Amino acid sequence: MEQTCIIVGASHAAAQLAPSLRQEGWQGRIVVIGDESCLPYHRPPLSKAYLRGDKQPDDLLIRVADIYARLNIEFRLGERVESIDRDDRTVTLRSGEKLAYDKLALCTGTRVRTVTLPGSTLSGIHYLRNIDDIDRIRADVRAGGRAVIVGGGYIGLETAAVLTKLGMRTTILEMAPRVLARVTAPQVSSFFERVHREEGVDIHTGIAVRGFDGAVRVEKVLCADGAFFPADLVIIGVGVMPNVELAARAGLATDNGILVDACGRTADPNIVAAGDCTMHPSPFYGYIRLESVPNATEQARSAAAALCGKEKPYAALPWFWSDQYDLKLQIAGLNQGHDQVVVRGAPEGGRSFCAFYLKGGQLIAADCVNRSQEFIFSKRLIAERIEVSAAQLANDALPLKSLLEGVKVAD
């Protein structure tokens, strides 16, 4: 009898996992069930080109419908999987309908962290995760209007860059002492704060939001120190949470993510998971959960192979990017646990530099701003564990490429 693989979540990971299943030889049905109403789409442009109005929904599709049709991949969109019965090998949809599976892939991603402060349900207050969120935000964008962004992470900064270009008077409120505090060195935070201020963004750090005020629509953001900021539009970008509840209710192990091995396998031989929702082993950093497109795509390939009985572990170095104004930030590796930061170039005045993170003298991560070549070489230096000194990394006259020639690999 024909076998069925069900993929939960019409996501980045699903858009890769389903075609990869065919490549790996899966002959049976593939059914992707997603609770959004559209085919899998690229999320990164949501806070960039799509918010700016430079792209239409169809431009965001990861693959067009024809490609899925050719590969005989079915979609059930606007449907949510509510539960999994691992003994019967069925999933139950919100409608109550039950669907049988032989293999199951969980690609449920993350959802935004919401706040429950006074006034937080006023209209004009938005989160940013889906196309629908951006459509609602765009309807509130007015040149000359005031936008307040709560949270100075990547999403907050990207959104501030676009709203400023769209003519809004934009303020960022960040609770930590600096923007990007969780993910970058102080030098990188200072650089982004300077550029945003030069572009006209008002940035306040070390400030806690305590609520929102307004009759029907939001009119003000209220802060714990008594300060307030007039607002016609508020965007809250304070992080995301992995969608693990479906897996947890089915008895699968979770810990800030669905626990999987390097091939995306859970402890259930019929169930894999891929993307933002997983906690997985990395050969570089131990167990990690990543929020990035490259991770979703690469892990999905491994998980598809695993469902077809093949061993293709996912072992790529994590990498990320962020676009703000004319800046392309590319990040290689994770800087957690670093004990030294080395800067190459001059972030204080210019718009191009690298920050390297070392741990015990070993390069573990790099933030590269408008330095694509250095990003590519940094990835290799980190992934191949090549020994480089702080002095070499800091020397802007010494091409990083030269450090890859005649390499000596660290233990």
- Measure the CA–CA gap between 53 and 68, rounded to whole angstroms: 27
36 vs 199, which CB is nearer to ligand FAD? 36
Specify the amino acid at residue 268: D
58 vs 82, which CB is nearer to ligand FAD? 82
Looking at the chain, the number of H-run helices and the number of E-run strands are 11, 26
Give the shortest CB-80-to-ligand FAD separation in angstroms: 4
3-class secondary-structure state, position 221: strand
- Measure the CA–CA gap between 140 and 355, rounded to whole angstroms: 37
109 vs 345, which CB is nearer to ligand FAD? 109
DSSP state of 346: -
Token digits of residue 399: 């091409």
207 vs 275, which CB is nearer to ligand FAD? 275
Give the shortest CB-192-to-ligand FAD separation in angstroms: 15
Token digits of residue 163: 């709203």
Give the shortest CB-12-to-ligand FAD separation in angstroms: 3
267-293 b/e (C-beta count within 10 Å ≥ 16 → b): ebeebbbbbbbbbbbbebbeebbbbbb
Contacts of 171 (CB under 8 A, 6+ apart): 146, 147, 148, 149, 201, 202, 203, 204, 229, 231
Give the shortest CB-410-to-ligand FAD separation in angstroms: 28
Give the shortest CB-20-to-ligand FAD separation in angstroms: 13
30 vs 207, which CB is nearer to ligand FAD? 30
DSSP state of 231: -
Give the shortest CB-69-to-ligand FAD separation in angstroms: 20
Give the shortest CB-166-to-ligand FAD separation in angstroms: 16
Token digits of residue 51: 């918010």
78 vs 283, which CB is nearer to ligand FAD? 78
Give the shortest CB-316-to-ligand FAD separation in angstroms: 13
- Report which secondary-structure segment, H or E, holds 293: helix 293-307
231 vs 277, which CB is nearer to ligand FAD? 277
3-class secondary-structure state, position 215: coil
Contacts of 402 (CB under 8 A, 6+ apart): none
11 vs 171, which CB is nearer to ligand FAD? 11
- Measure the CA–CA gap between 209 and 119, rounded to whole angstroms: 11
Give the shortest CB-101-to-ligand FAD separation in angstroms: 13
- Measure the CA–CA gap between 122 and 203, rounded to whole angstroms: 23
Contacts of 62 (CB under 8 A, 6+ apart): 12, 15, 39, 40, 41, 42
Give the shortest CB-125-to-ligand FAD separation in angstroms: 17
Asked whether 3 and 102 are in contact (CB, 8 A), the reply is yes
Which residues of this chain interact with ligand FAD, rule CB under 6 A? 8-13, 33-36, 43-44, 46-47, 80-81, 107-110, 128-129, 155, 243, 246, 275-277, 291-293, 296, 320-322
135 vs 225, which CB is nearer to ligand FAD? 135
- Measure the CA–CA gap between 301 and 22, rounded to whole angstroms: 11
125 vs 358, which CB is nearer to ligand FAD? 125
Asked whether 20 and 46 are in contact (CB, 8 A), the reply is no
